[in-house]
Amino acid sequence: MKNFNAGNRHACSLQEFDTKYPKPLTVRQIQKLDKVAIERCGIPSLVLMENAGRAVAEEVQKSLRGKKKPRVS
């Protein structure tokens, strides 16, 4: 997992969460991870949401790759 350095704060690692939670994660687990990322690592919530949206878009693109008439509904 990537380490983050938020300016004056110490480097932050979310490595402790790599194996702690099985996939898929619950809403409560995601909320906890978001809180840690925001408060302990200093990652703005907007950045978290942008990254999540980008990851979803990439997965949709992968799943549609090679289909003759891909549709998202």
Residue 2 confidence class, pLDDT cut points 50, 70, 90: very low
* Structure-token pair, residue 51: 């990254």
Indicate the domain borders of the chain. 3-57
Whole-prediction pTM: 0.62
Token pair belonging to 4: 């983050």
Round to whole Å and give the CA distance between 7 and 11: 9
Q: What is the pLDDT of residues 15-50, one digit of tens each?
A: 665 666 567 888 998 899 899 999 999 999 999 999
